[in-house]
């Protein structure tokens, strides 16, 4: 599945470089028009992130996000500042198809496990964004990638597999915004080791060839942000590429 992405900061559509809020590029595009353009080109879902909320939950762009969700012609999965059960319930009631849990999934896995049980695993996406430390261990930062936790990616995947999670969004932070290709070794390991999970790959996708290669790792979806905003290809072209890569004739 192709998941076109929009990140919002102070009401603008932006892309950060490796999660650094100081290194942002602002795009002169209307967020709602862009979302509906992606849907018109064939996207079933749009991936929307409130970067203000991700950094500080008290600064959520709630009114802007509500307007986008209510007027998007497709399904929306939403992340950024979703830290409490009230947040989860609010957005699901508003019509969000899936909510993305990031920092809380790392800090309070027992709490999030209860949300998965209550709201269903199809409504919850766990954002386990990661980078390799000096010892080549994939660790998990929090708070808009600003703070390092004590959890490793493997620790969290082991736990959430046991409690029945379905959707895992994994961004290799070192690839995010770089357009240098996805970390296919990381996604291949995840899909082979945790075969019951649906992995969403994010970070570094620049070409249609990158989509073909990451699809071969076994991921369920790929998130595309900068490559679409900078017209490397269209959503329609990306969907065709994904479908061709998954067809029996291409294997």
Q: What is the CA radius of gyration of the chain?
A: 17
In terms of Cβ atoms closer than 10 Å to its own Cβ (0-12, 13-18, 19+), residue 3 is buried
Determine the straight-line distance between the first and last CA of the chain, rounded to whole angstroms. Answer: 17
Those residues with Cβ within 8 angstroms of residue 165's Cβ, 6 or more apart along the chain or in another chain? 116, 121, 124, 126, 197
Known catalytic residue: 7? yes
Helices (H), 10-132: 31-40, 51-55, 62-71, 85-94, 103-107, 109-119
Annotated active-site residue 155? The verdict is no
| Lookup: tokens for 142 | 């929090």
Residues with Cβ within 8 Å of residue 233, at least 6 apart in sequence: 207, 208, 227, 241
Residue with tokens 């999965």: 77
Q: Which of 50, 129, 176, 210 is catalytic?
A: 129
Q: Which residues contact 160 (CB under 8 A, 6 or more apart)?
A: 105, 109, 113, 126, 168, 197
Catalytic amino acids? 7, 129
């Amino acid at each position: 599945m192709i998941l076109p992405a929009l990140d919002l900061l102070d009401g603008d559509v932006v892309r950060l470089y490796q999660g650094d809020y100081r290194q942002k590029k602002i795009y002169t595009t209307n967020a709602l028009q862009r979302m509906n353009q992606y849907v018109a080109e064939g996207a079933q879902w749009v991936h929307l992130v409130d970067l203000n909320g991700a950094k500080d939950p008290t600064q959520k762009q709630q009114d802007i996000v509500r307007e986008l969700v209510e007027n998007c012609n497709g399904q929306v999965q939403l992340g950024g500042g979703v830290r409490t059960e009230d947040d989860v319930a609010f957005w699901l009631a508003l019509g969000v198809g899936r909510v993305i849990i990031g920092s809380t999934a790392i800090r309070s896995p027992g709490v999030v496990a209860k949300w998965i049980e209550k709201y269903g695993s199809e409504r919850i996406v766990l954002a386990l964004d990661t980078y390799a430390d000096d010892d080549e261990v994939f660790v998990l930062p929090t708070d808009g990638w600003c703070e390092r936790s004590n959890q490793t990616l493997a620790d969290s995947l082991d736990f959430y597999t046991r409690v029945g999670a379905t959707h895992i969004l994994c961004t290799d932070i070192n690839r995010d915004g770089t357009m240098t290709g996805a970390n296919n070794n990381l996604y291949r390991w995840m899909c082979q080791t945790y075969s019951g999970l649906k992995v969403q790959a994010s970070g570094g996708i620049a070409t249609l060839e990158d989509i073909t290669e990451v699809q071969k790792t076994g991921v369920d979806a790929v998130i595309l942000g900068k490559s679409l905003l900078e017209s490397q290809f269209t959503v329609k072209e990306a969907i065709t590429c994904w479908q061709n890569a998954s067809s029996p004739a291409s294997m």
